[in-house]
Chain A
């Protein structure tokens, strides 16, 4: 069959001459390529010690945000789960009991919230779908694990710490238009 792309090389069984048979020139050419690269700028980095500079809007591990008073913003509305093209999000809602007002912002909250990090394709549609500004993607990476089960991240990993000093800043992920929109009280969806 003729090649369709015309890019394949035709292999021949030609006998090598003496010059080619001693291999020495070929070795020298190969080594010179190697040695040249020693003086070039390195393209790799020593990963765990050094990290690359990430873009401000890099889409890595998710975070479930809390509001200013430390209450969970997520109300388990399910919009992230239905927006998710990889179907990586599972949630179970529960009703807030009297006395838990300092824990959950609204009368419904996510008792179980799980993202399967193997399924997740980090597209950021969950972040876009969220009406409560509860889920955001961060610059943090999802570390490798030995077991598949451990990639199911629950609320214990995803939820951001209550301590105001340890909060995860996501303001750079929001565009100017969004921040402007949030200033306008009449357009605000969230109390």
Chain B
């Protein structure tokens, strides 16, 4: 066990834990935001740079500060490490710049995008971003393509976090999509209009922090804040079958995995549960999903939702 201090709060964590994980154990406002890191997947992180923190003291043995800001998702803690996140102006300034960088090529088509309301980039830019862009050049533009019958790819919105690539690598037996080209012209695509049709490929939708990969069966059907998220489960021989059903009246508009407070799914679900079971009789309803009060998803829901067996 090593002792680490993040924003003047000390915690003991296991050896080899990343700073971000240690901060998540403390919880609250001091947790650095993460766009590419996904704790449920291995080897993620280190790409988006939103989780940069300042290490004021490297360890108790060598108390010199680290020369640059480090990515907290891929820097392991050391005993006696002192980390500054929101207490350091340098970190906040850097994060603001990172948000501006991420938004350089982002089309800001939130009114059209299906991810709006549960988008990590939207939350991040509200928290740290500036309200205007200084970028005057044209944004890169790609046509939206269908990869498979269930997933729509909007390359315009992609922030190159690689989460979907890791999902495909670690959950499915054969990955058929990936990153092409380099740097500014980097894009996610499939090999020669290949279709992504593995049973667990739908999880890339949940993993995508922006609206680059969206559900075609839910495309433009409603906005997430008009729907009521309800925990439901069914017996499935491929996955755990535990999902969140997004309902409008008595209709299920879409199914997603259950997302925890960090926006990561608790358990991955299969495509059959996600795309093909949209009848209310397919599911056992557990009750309303708890959504953060600050989230737009919880807006306008002043009616108390009852389970079917409750009176």
Instruction: State the A residues within 8 Å of B (CB).
Output: 75-79, 81-82, 87, 93-95, 106-108, 131-132, 185-187, 189
Cα distance A164–B132 when bound, in Å? 32
A contact residues around B1 at 8 Å (CB): none
B interface bracket (residues with beta carbon within 8 Å of A): 20 to 34
Closest chain-A Cβ to B142's Cβ sits at a distance in Å of 13
Using a Cβ cutoff of 8 Å, how many contacts connect chains A and B?
Answer: 48
CB within 8 Å of A: which B115-156 residues: 116, 131-136, 144
List residues of chain A with CB within 8 A of the CB of B249. none
Q: Which residues of A contact B299 (CB under 8 A)?
A: 82
Query: Hey, which chain A residues are within 8 Å of B136, CB to CB?
Result: 185-186
Binds A, one of B60-68, B103-111, B169-177: B103-111
- Flag if B226 contacts A78 (CB, 8 Å): yes
Known: A82-B296, A108-B220. A77 touches B134 (CB 8 A): no
Chain A residue with Cβ nearest B117: A78
Task: Please state if A77 and B133 are interface contacts (CB–CB under 8 Å).
Answer: no
Residues on A with beta carbons closer than 8 Å to the beta carbon of B135: 186
CB distance from B212 to the nearest CB of A (A): 15
A108, B108: Cβ atoms closer than 8 Å? no
Provide the bound-state CA to CA distance between A81 and B225, in Å: 10
Which applies to chain B's interface (DSSP): helix, strand, loop or mixed?
A: loop
Q: Are B220 and A186 in contact (CB under 8 A)?
A: no
Given A81, A93, A94, A106, which contacts B109 in the complex, CB threshold below 8 Å?
A106
With both chains docked as a complex, state the minimum distance between the C-beta of A96 and any C-beta of chain B, in angstroms. 10
Please measure, in the bound complex, the distance between the C-alpha atom of A87 and the C-alpha atom of B220, giving whole angstroms. 20
* Chain B, Cβ-Cβ closest to A107: B112
Of the residues B111, B132, B226, contact of A132 by C-beta under 8 Å:
B111
Selected contact of B111 from candidates A79, A94, A185, CB within 8 Å: A79
In the bound complex, CA of A41 to CA of B260 (Å): 69
Q: Please, which residue of chain B has its CB at the minimum distance from the CB of A76?
A: B220
The closest CB in chain A to the CB of B224 belongs to: A78
Q: Which residues of A contact B296 (CB under 8 A)?
A: 82
**B112 contacts A82, C-beta separation under 8 Å:** no
The docked-state distance in angstroms from the alpha carbon of A131 to that of B225 is: 17
| 219-243 of chain B: CB within 8 A of chain A | 219-223, 225-226
Interface residues of B in 274-311 (CB under 8 A from A): 296, 299-300
